[in-house]
């Protein structure tokens, strides 16, 4: 006597096990949660304290210049030397006269590095710039 009929052996399994899919989704979620804050900074800076919050500005009008304490420059998270950065800022300013340059110097960086960026901005008539600080209190 056979316990199973011929017909039952031909029936396909219609249930899908979603446990491995959920495991994968949770692992990807954890990876994205951990890596997202790391992508926001390109150079590790220690900003000076002070300043205040500001009104809303269109993000397309902002270019961020970062200056490390070792003299490394970065424009919008791309490292480059000073002449390249200034020429890129001038090109962006010609394309968008509403350009605002955020300058984020490390508090331990030399003043000369900051003044080089400011001189480059003034050379190409970029008058809208802001030296960024850490708004939290000590």
> What is the residue extent of each domain of the chain?
59-131
Q: Is the pTM of this model over 0.85?
A: no
Tell me the pLDDT of the chain averaged across its residues: 81
Give the model confidence (pLDDT) of 30-71 as tens digits.
988 887 776 666 677 777 776 666 667 778 888 999 998 888
- The pLDDT of residue 86: 92
Q: What is the pLDDT of residues 86-129, one digit of tens each?
A: 999 999 999 988 889 999 998 888 889 889 999 998 998 888 88
Residue found under tokens 């900074």: 41
Q: Tell me: pLDDT of 12 over 70.
A: no
CA–CA separation, 68 vs 110, rounded Å?
9
Question: What pLDDT was estimated at residue 2?
Answer: 52
Task: Give dist(CA 138, CA 69) in Å, integer.
Answer: 20
Confidence of residue 7 (pLDDT cuts 50, 70, 90): low
Q: Is 12 helix (H, G, I), strand (E, B) or coil?
A: coil
pLDDT of res. 74:
92
pLDDT for residue 126: 87
List of residues 6+ apart from 101 with CB closer than 8 A: 62, 63, 64, 65, 89, 121, 126, 128, 129, 130
31 φ, ψ to 5°?
A: -60, -45
Nearest to 128 by CA among 65, 67, 79: 65
Backbone angles phi, psi at 130, to 5 degrees: -140, 130
Instruction: List, in sequence order, every beta strand (DSSP E) within the chain.
Output: 62-67, 73-75, 78-80, 100-105, 129-131
Q: Please report which residue ranges of 3-49 form alpha helices under DSSP H.
A: 6-10, 19-39
Residue whose entry in the numeric block shows the structure tokens 């949660």: 33
Q: Which fold has domain 59-131?
A: Nucleotidyltransferase; domain 5 (3.30.420)
Given a cut of 70, whether residue 10 has pLDDT beyond it is no
């Amino acid at each position: 006597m056979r316990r199973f009929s011929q017909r039952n052996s031909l029936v396909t399994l219609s249930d899908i096990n979603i446990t491995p899919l959920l495991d994968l989704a949770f692992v990807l979620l954890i990876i994205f949660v951990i890596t997202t804050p790391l992508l926001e900074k390109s150079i590790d800076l220690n900003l000076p304290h002070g300043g205040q919050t500001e009104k809303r500005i269109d993000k397309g009008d902002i270019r961020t210049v970062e200056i490390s304490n070792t003299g490394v420059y970065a424009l919008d998270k791309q490292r480059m030397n000073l002449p390249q950065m200034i020429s890129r800022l001038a090109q962006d300013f010609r394309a968008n006269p509403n350009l605002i340059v955020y300058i984020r110097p490390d508090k331990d960086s030399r003043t000369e590095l900051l003044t080089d960026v400011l001189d480059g901005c003034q050379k190409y008539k970029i008058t809208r710039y802001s030296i960024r600080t850490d708004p939290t209190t000590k």
